[in-house]
Amino acid sequence: MMSKPLATAIRYLKGIGPKKARVISSLGINDIEDLLYYFPRRYEDRTSLSAIAGLKQGEAQTVRARVLTKNERQSLRRRGFSILEIMVGDESGRIFCVWFNQPYLAGYFKPGTNLILHGRVEGYAGRLQMNSPEFEILESEADDALNTGRIVPVYSLPPGITQRNWRQTVKLAIDEYLPGMHDFLTYDIRSRHNLLNLAKSIVNIHFPQGAGLQREAYRRLAFEEFFIFQLPLALRKSRRKEKQGIAHLAEGILSRDFIAGLPFELTTAQKSVMEEIKADMASPKPMQRLLQGDVGSGKTVVATAAALIAVQGGYQAAMMVPTEILARQHYEKISSQVSELKVREKKIKIAILVSGMDKKAKERTYRDIGGGKIDLVIGTHAILEEKLRFSRLGMVVIDEQHKFGIGQRALLPAKGAAPDVLIMTATPIPRTLAITLYGDLDISVINELPSGRLPVETLLFAQGEVRRAYELAREQLKCGYQVYIIYPVIEESYALDIAGARKMYEELKAGEFKEFRLGLIHGRLKQKEQEEIMKGFQNRQIDVLVSTTVLEVGIDVANATCMIVEHAERFGLSQLHQLRGRVGRGSAKSLCVLVSDSPTTESRQRLEAMVRHSDGFRLSEEDLKLRGPGEFFGRRQHGLSELRIGNPLSQTQLLKKAREEAIRLVGVDPNLENKQNMAIKERLLERFPEYQELVVVG
């Protein structure tokens, strides 16, 4: 019998069809292989379910019980709000289950129906209760072998698809298509790390034959993900060693005079990172370095010094940043810092290139860059325009790299002949995860703030205490300092009950802050308007700046000492930390007040972490624990959708082994040409077709 191809569209599996296939595609499942790699989110051990009498309050547990009574009623407090309550029981006792505003569920719970229920058990009014538990209907006392008497998988599913039906679908796919699944991990890799084969892993990740085999299946599939994720990084690093780059003169007078002329001394961490960069730039191999540093740690100064190393050797440097506001800020600050510096008896020429420039100015800048008249260009993605040509590009700096797509980041270095590349991020990443994401880069860290900087005090107020926050802000304003007030949206959203920046700006201007000068900035304003408002704030013509998250990246106003973030639960930890970094940039004590009625446990934990920690690395670890790496970074942008099962934070040693295995393989077969590695090559290109050029022979 011929094995069936795993690329078969999901619609052709028995019981699916075109309509159901469209629903399933919302899960990212389009073919049989996608289905087999869509893993359970948790398991229930139904070999020995809890008796109701033995349930523990405060814990999530699973019971098997029969519906005894059903009661539907309308809330007396909230009009149009329905409550569905059932009482279920087993031989040992009874428990109530309650669902709110889901009247359509009533039809499922006829008295006598047997159920599996999973939820958090609470004590309420002298009785046991589960609120909105997950449930499955058992169609017979015995039921079938997939749903009772075993460790049962539970999946994240769209409405209209039940757990029971999904398990049957997965089982059918395993029975019909598993013989066509070839294990791309070679036998020697599996034996070195004591890994299950692929077929056994797929069976036991979906339908474990025991807890031990489920753990082994999880370990094998996580290793596979880590390995295939690390392979292109190892290949890229290997290719880089083969390239000839520029051996810059790292100890020239230009970068030395720049550092000497600064009104402050570099921190120990900055000096250490500069030495790493100098060593890279002096080497004939192209530099590919990631510079991590917390907000306000002084990454831009280091990047400017590195750019000047290239300039003093007759090369051009380019610095790409994500927003026009930031580009103009860098342009003005760096221009003032290097205004007196000369290279070969000529003053350094700096240009700015952003989308908002008029056409004539842009064309003139293009010509000057192409003719070698510009030493350093600072800009947004406008630098990536195809018509822009550099005369002699020797150094590329990409700031806040996570704001650019993978493809965009590769375009700028391609405008030169193997220039050195420095990638910067103010989103601190734990080292393990940094290696996972940026294994092809060397990593530097600035882990201290400039002297004189004080940690920002962070407070958490409930929405009803917002007047206290305003009073603290007024105290700062009376001392001559400035204030930010941040909102998550521009217009008011009644659906989310969020006050919009525009509406609150008008209210605050007429009320709480009527004796002060207010400004409003958001992403829908024209670029020129944004710049005028920011200039007004920087020049102290505006006391209170009401804003959306347009301020998240890089704005530097030393006199701003207070920030109020309204509806703070709407922001991620990393985003809140970036926002908080806009204050505390001078020597004065600064304050960040988070205002929120956190609706969920997770959002409350996130905000409490902000109060406890000022260190970005600690916060990123907290955020990763709460949200997982995919949500933290944005799955599509970083390829972390490939990590469907592996967790770099909890499986550090497994990640390290997979990384070592990828490096070992590239060392012995750099083009993946050997017969035993062809399946690995195919798998790599299936997952990452954009890396085709890394494994082309030659």
Which CATH number does the domain housing residue 340 bear?
3.40.50.300
Residue that is last in its domain, among 149, 169, 189: 149
Q: Which tokens belong to 515?
A: 């004796």
pLDDT given for residue 694 in this prediction: 63
pLDDT given for residue 627 in this prediction: 64
Is 484 in the same domain as 596? yes
Report yes or no: 480 and 562 within 8 Å, Cβ to Cβ: no
- Does an H or E element contain 502, and which? helix 501-510
Is 463 in the same domain as 524? yes
CB atoms inside a 10 Å sphere around CB 201: 22
pLDDT given for residue 406 in this prediction: 53
Is 550 in the same domain as 522? yes
Is 399 in the same domain as 315? yes
Q: What is the mean pLDDT of the chain?
A: 85
- 20-29, 102-111, 341-350, 443-452: range with highest mean pLDDT: 20-29
Give the Å distances, CA to CA, from 51 to 92, 116, 125, 136, 209. Answer: 6, 12, 21, 17, 24
Is 495 in the same domain as 508? yes
CATH number, position 108: 2.40.50.140
pLDDT given for residue 557 in this prediction: 86
Confidence of residue 635 (pLDDT cuts 50, 70, 90): very low
**C-alpha angle 111/122/153, rounded to 5°?**
70
The residue among 36, 75, 250, 264 whose CA lies nearest residue 153 is 36
Report yes or no: 354 and 327 within 8 Å, Cβ to Cβ: yes
pLDDT given for residue 415 in this prediction: 86
> What gap in Å lies between CA 126 and CA 382, rounded to an integer?
66
Average pLDDT rounded to a whole number, residues 627-639: 49
Q: Do the domain assignments include residue 383? A: yes
Q: Residue 212 — φ and ψ, nearest 5°?
A: -65, -45
Go through the chain and tell me how many residues it has.
698
Burial letters for 577-607: b for 16+ Cβ neighbours within 10 Å, e otherwise?
A: bbbbbbbbbbebebbbbbbbebeeeebeebb
Find the domain containing 547 and state its range: 457-613
Query: Is pLDDT at 613 greater than 90 in this prediction?
Result: no
Lowest mean pLDDT among 19-23, 339-343, 495-499, 519-523: 495-499
Confidence of residue 431 (pLDDT cuts 50, 70, 90): low
Residue that is last in its domain, among 564, 591, 613: 613
Is 525 in the same domain as 591? yes
Query: Is pLDDT at 516 greater than 90 in this prediction?
Result: yes
Average pLDDT rounded to a whole number, residues 140-169: 82
Is 167 in the same domain as 313? no
Q: Do the domain assignments include residue 656? A: no
pLDDT tens, residue by residue, 434-492: 776 777 788 898 888 777 778 889 999 998 899 999 999 999 999 999 999 998 875 55
Residue that is last in its domain, among 425, 440, 466: 425
pLDDT given for residue 220 in this prediction: 96
Is 373 in the same domain as 513? no
Q: Which tokens belong to 128?
A: 């046991």
Is 35 in the same domain as 177? yes
Is 391 in the same domain as 261? yes
Average pLDDT rounded to a whole number, residues 556-565: 91
pLDDT given for residue 425 in this prediction: 83
Query: Is pLDDT at 109 greater than 60 in this prediction?
Result: yes
Confidence of residue 293 (pLDDT cuts 50, 70, 90): confident
**123 or 350, which is more confident?**
350
pLDDT given for residue 22 in this prediction: 92
Report yes or no: 244 and 284 within 8 Å, Cβ to Cβ: yes
Confidence of residue 432 (pLDDT cuts 50, 70, 90): low
Residues ≥6 apart with Cβ < 8 Å to 181: 6, 33, 36, 198, 199, 202
Report yes or no: 548 and 489 within 8 Å, Cβ to Cβ: yes
Report yes or no: 519 and 553 within 8 Å, Cβ to Cβ: no
> What gap in Å lies between CA 441 and CA 439, rounded to an integer?
5
pLDDT tens, residue by residue, 76-107: 777 778 889 999 999 999 999 999 888 888 88
pLDDT tens, residue by residue, 246-273: 999 888 888 889 999 988 899 999 999 9
CB atoms inside a 10 Å sphere around CB 129: 19
Percent of the chain at pLDDT exceeding 90: 42
Lowest mean pLDDT among 170-174, 214-218, 433-437: 433-437
Q: Residue 280 — φ and ψ, nearest 5°?
A: -65, -45
Average pLDDT rounded to a whole number, residues 290-302: 87
- Structure letter (DSSP) for residue 70: E
- How many Cα atoms within 13 Å fall on the side-chain side of residue 103? 7
- 274-283, 495-504, 616-625: range with highest mean pLDDT: 274-283
Q: Do the domain assignments include residue 678? A: no
Query: Is pLDDT at 640 greater than 60 in this prediction?
Result: no
> What gap in Å lies between CA 530 and CA 664, rounded to an integer?
52
CATH number, position 28: 1.10.150
pLDDT tens, residue by residue, 364-407: 999 999 999 999 999 988 898 888 999 999 999 998 755 555 55
Is 478 in the same domain as 605? yes
pLDDT given for residue 162 in this prediction: 84
Q: Do the domain assignments include residue 469? A: yes
pLDDT given for residue 493 in this prediction: 54
Is 602 in the same domain as 476? yes
Coil, strand, or helix at residue 150?
Answer: coil
Q: Do the domain assignments include residue 176? A: yes
Q: Do the domain assignments include residue 481? A: yes
Q: In the chain, how many domains are there? A: 4
CA quadruple 596, 600, 604, 606: dihedral sign: negative
DSSP β-bridge partners for residue 129:
96, 122
Query: Is pLDDT at 1 greater than 50 in this prediction?
Result: no
Query: Is pLDDT at 11 greater than 50 in this prediction?
Result: yes
Q: Do the domain assignments include residue 230? A: no
pLDDT given for residue 636 in this prediction: 39
Average pLDDT rounded to a whole number, residues 557-563: 92
Q: Which tokens belong to 73?
A: 């009623």
Query: Is pLDDT at 346 greater than 90 in this prediction?
Result: no
pLDDT given for residue 356 in this prediction: 80
DSSP β-bridge partners for residue 591:
457, 562
**C-alpha angle 606/608/611, rounded to 5°?**
115
The residue among 66, 72, 64, 3 whose CA lies nearest residue 32 is 3
Torsion of CA 274, 279, 281, 282, to 10 degrees: 140
Confidence of residue 550 (pLDDT cuts 50, 70, 90): low
pLDDT tens, residue by residue, 32-63: 999 999 999 889 888 878 899 999 998 888 89
> What gap in Å lies between CA 569 and CA 429, rounded to an integer?
22
Q: Do the domain assignments include residue 357? A: yes
Residues ≥6 apart with Cβ < 8 Å to 563: 483, 484, 485, 486, 579, 580, 582, 583, 590, 591, 592, 593
Query: Is pLDDT at 150 greater than 90 in this prediction?
Result: no
Calculate helix-pair angle for 527-538, 324-338, nearest 10 degrees: 50
- Structure letter (DSSP) for residue 640: G
Confidence of residue 280 (pLDDT cuts 50, 70, 90): very high
Calculate helix-pair angle for 211-242, 198-206, nearest 10 degrees: 130
